[in-house]
A and B are shown apart, each in its own frame.
Chain A
Amino acid sequence: MKTVLIIEDNDDNMALITFILEKNGYATIMAENGQQGMTLADTHRPAFIILDIQLPDMNGLEVLKGIRNSEANGDIPIIAMTSYAMSGDKERLLREGCNGYIEKPIDPAKVMDQIREIVEK
């Protein structure tokens, strides 16, 4: 079973995305802040990471850079997830090494297709 690391500070969103992923046969690891997320990424080496860009302790971009700079996890696919992106946010994320971008609110009917498309690309 593939493991997914979800870095998300909001309980409701966390419950929503884990429910969908688990329904679709993934194991989930949850991190509620950036620091924890980076540590768990190192220790569990997930198949991919879903990263909320608006986190309480650090900016999602910093977490993204932190994970990408780690030698062990440099190649783990990372999917950014955020609501209300400004012009250029998406491009900046992709430039910093993010593999894909899903906008909130997620559509349960489409989200798995979006994830698969990004991860398999």
Chain B
Amino acid sequence: MSFIQDLPIKQKLALIVTLTSFTGLLVSALILYAYDKKMHRQEMREELAVLGEVISDRSTAALVFSDPDLARENLASLSASSSIVAACIYSESSTIFATYTRGQSDETPAGGRSCPSEPSGGGHRFGENSLHLFQDIVLDGAQIGTIYIRADLREINAHMTQNLLIVISVMFVASLVAFLFSLKLQGLISSPIRHLADRANLVATRKDYSVRAVKTGRDELGLLTDRFNAMLEQIERQQTDRDKSEEELRLHRNHLEGLVRVRTEELYLKNKELGQSQEALTSLLEDVNESRVELDEANRQLKELDDLKTMFIASMSHELRTPLNAIIGFTGIILQGMSGEINADQRAQLKRVYVSAKHLLGLISEIIDISKVEAGKLEPYLQTFSLYGVIKEAISNLKNQIKEKGLGIETDIPPYIQLKSDRTRLLQCLLNYLSNAVKFTDRGKIFIMAKEVNNMIEIRVKDTGVGIQDVDIPKLFSPYSRIDTGQRPRPLGTGLGLYLTQKLTDEVLRGSVALESEYGKGSTFILKVPVNI
């Protein structure tokens, strides 16, 4: 069957149609032929049976009266039927009683003899070209003889053969017509398929997904065409999308390439700049190295200067103070009268020497302290001590001056507060505040008050002195600034006391200074230091 499968659809369709028609016709023809043959034979048999009946009825008398001529006459009536070729009547003893033969035709292949020599049972029997009938002749229920009739079938057979030929001819003609029709009509099926195949081929070779197949009808082929078109549409859409993506990708790639090119150029330029920068840097480094050498030299010189300064401070401390200590000491001895009596003028003059020397000593001490604070060489020496004790010590140190000026002194200090701080420096600051208060207060009293607020000690030294004008307040803590209070004689001072106090408070005691003042009524100097540094 494989050769059929390889045939083009066109031929397949023609073949199928032709074969189908032919087979249908063949089956119909065969059935018709068989039916026709059967009908003819039955007709023949019935006719023969009727003839047999008629002849046997007529022949009873002949047999009863043993009249063969009568029997022969009866048989001769069979000549009316052209198909009867021979007949005979057998007697009761199965011997031939009378015969009939049509013309010379009894010499037929039916048997060589016109009749069989004796009857062989009842009923009919078909031979090759003839029909044989044996029929009993019965009279009053008893068999008195047998009748035999033979019909020639050749005419019928020839007729049948003719019919068959006609049918076969018709069959072939019909098949041919069917074949021609199928050739004409197969296009209904094959051409849409061919069309689809061509389109598919076109799509495959040209990669053109915009091609569409033409729909010819609403049958399965139409459906197939629709599906095919839908498929193409989908492919085309995907293709379009892909093309779009590819285009985007291409643009993106181009952009990237451009970007890379630009960046590469930038990088090249940067590299070049870097090279230049490196050269610049190298020369700069050389410069820096030179500068460093110079700087090292400058540093060395600076250190020498610093050492010199430290030495100078140390010698100020010792070499300047030692002779001053002698001057103050001996002046003091003479003023005490330990070396004998001196007159009032001498006493007054010596007193000036004594006070000046003490002032000079104080000045030197303050300069040394300031130098050390500014050089960062003063570290707090921490001790735990009583706030009350240190304030009392400050007052005690100045009690002679307070007494001399006739000033009152009042305190409000909690007696239990313990500080962890630098006692010597705190005392120094308190002495400064208190000596200022004494110096600038001519009448009234000095009030010292202390309290603890948020781990800070606030000490206030309030006086009823000259007070300070607002414009002068900012100058007060600057070095070497002295304010003319209008007091005569001018109170002695170095102009460094408050500056030093502020420096010590800020940098050694880790606190702060403040000032409140009302001109003409008095001032309050405030010192705030942490309870625990």
Contact = CB atoms under 8 A, between A and B. Distances in A.
Nearest to A12: B326
A85 B422 CA distance: 14
Bin the interface of chain A by size: 20 to 34
Contacts of B378: 87
Contact of A108 (B324, B338, B361): B338
A84 B317 contact: yes
A104 B321 contact: yes
A6 B318 CA distance: 19
A19 B325 contact: no
A82 B115 CA distance: 194
B164 to A, nearest CB: 155
Contacts of B469: none
A16 interface: yes
Interface residues of B, number: 28
Contact of B424 (A10, A87, A105, A109): A87
Nearest to A19: B333
Contacts, number: 69
Contact of B323 (A12, A20, A106): A12
Given A16-B333, A20-B333, A87-B425, A105 B380 contact: no
B328 interface: yes
Interface string B317-360: 11001111110111011011010000000000000000000100
A68 to B, nearest CB: 23
Interface in B52-103: none
A109 B380 CA distance: 33
Interface string A87-119: 110110000000000001111110000000000
A108 B333 contact: yes
Contacts of B381: 86-88, 91
A13 B325 contact: yes
A86 B329 CA distance: 21
Nearest to A110: B332
A83 interface: yes
Nearest to A90: B424
A3 interface: no
Contacts of B326: 10, 12-13, 16
Contacts of B318: 54, 83-84
A121 interface: no
A16 B330 contact: yes
9 contacts: A20-B338, A86-B381, A87-B380, A90-B424, A104-B325, A105-B324, A105-B361, A106-B325, A108-B336
Given A106-B329, A108-B338, 5 more contacts: A12-B329, A13-B329, A84-B317, A87-B424, A109-B336
